[in-house]
Structure 1
Amino acid sequence: MCGALVWIAAGGWAGVLGLGGLLLRTRAALGRERWAASRDPLTGLLGLRGWRRGLSVARRHPAPRLLVNVDVDRFKEVNDGWGHEVGDRVLCEIADVIAQICGPGAVVARPGGDEFVALLAAPTSAEAVAELVDQLRNALVIRRRWLPGHTVTASVGATVLHGGADLDAAVIAADRAMFEDKNQRRRPVQHPQWVRAAV
C-alpha cells in the first residue's frame, strides 16, 4: 500500500488535510492531558508532578527563593464532621489564599491531601520572611457559616534557599519548620519559630 499510502487512502489532498488535522488534534489533546496531569483537579494548583517540575526549574536559578510549606490543622475533623464536600471547599479556599498572598510569580502546589507548598522570590530580610509567614498563617484562619463552631487553621513553615543549595534539604527544612509551628501553637506559652535557617 505504498504509493504515498495510495495517495492518502484515495482521498488525495483531502486525505492529507484530514490526516494533518488528526495529527494536530492529537497533539493538542496530548498537551491538554499533560497539562491536566501536572494539575491538582480540585484546586487547579500544580499537583505533585507539576511541583516537581517547578522545583527542577528552581534549581537552575541563582536568585534566593523562599520555600513555604503549609499544612491544614486537624483537617480530618472537617471531613469527618461536615463531609468531603465541605472539606473540598476548605481546600479550595486555602489554595486561593496561598496563591493570592504568594503572588503571581510564585509556584504554588497541592502535592496531596491537606498539604500545600509554594516557591517564590525570597524577601530581602529575615524580618520580611517572618512577616510573610505571619500574614499567610493569619489569612488561613477560616471561619464560615458552613462550618458552625469550627475554625480552620494552618501551620506554616519556610526556609530560604540560595542558588546551588540542596533542594531536598530545603524541602526537609521547610517541613520541619511547619511541624515546629504546629507543635509550638499546641503549647501557646512559647514563641513560635516558623522560619528555619537558610539552607
Structure 2
Amino acid sequence: MKKNIKVHQKLFTSTFYLSAFTFGGGFVIIPLMKKKFVDDLKWIEEKEMLDLAAIAQSSPGAVAVNASILLGYRIAGISGALITILGTVLPPLIILSVISMFYAAFRENIVVNAVLKGMQAGIAAVIADVVINMGGNVVKEKKLLPILVMGGAFIAAYFLKINVMYIILVCGGIGAITTYQSEKSRKERS
C-alpha cells in the first residue's frame, strides 16, 4: 500500500511539474514525459511512450491531458489516470486564473510581450526536437511501412495541405490493418 501511495505521489508531482513548466502545448510535454517516465523513472519503454503519444495525439482533446491520462492509467490504473489528470490540469488552471485577473496590464507590457516572443522561438525548437527524435526512432527501426507512412503524412500535410484529421484517420487505418495482419499471421504460425 505504501508503494502505491509513493507511485501516485510521484505521478502527481511529475505531471504537475511538467505541466507547470511546459509552454507551447501538448507536443512540447511529450518529450518531457518521455525523459521523465522512460529515461529517468524507467516505468515504461520508449516504444510504449511513442504509442501513447500517437494515441493521445489522435484522440479528441488536449494532447497533454490525453497523454497524461494514458500514462497514468498504464502505470497505476484508473486512480493513476485521475491523479495525472489533476496534476496536468491544475497548473494551467492556476496560471490562467492569475493571468486573467491581470490581463489588461499584461497585454500592454513591453517586457511580457518580449518574453512571449522569445518563448515562441523556444517552443519551435522543442517541437523540432520532438519531430527529429520521434522521427529518428521510426527510421532506426528500419521498417519500410512506418517510414513511408511518416513521409507520406508529412508530404500530405505540408505540401498538399490535406486536413490533418484525414491524415490521422488514414494513418490509424493503416496501423489497424497492419496490426491485424501481423496478429493474424502470428496466430497462424502458432
User: Do both share a fold (TM > 0.5)?
Assistant: no
Q: Which has the higher strand share?
A: 1
Q: Rg: which structure is higher?
A: 1
Identify the TM-score tier after normalising by the shorter chain. Answer: under 0.3
Q: TM-score, normalised by structure 2?
A: 0.27
Q: TM-score, normalised by structure 1?
A: 0.26
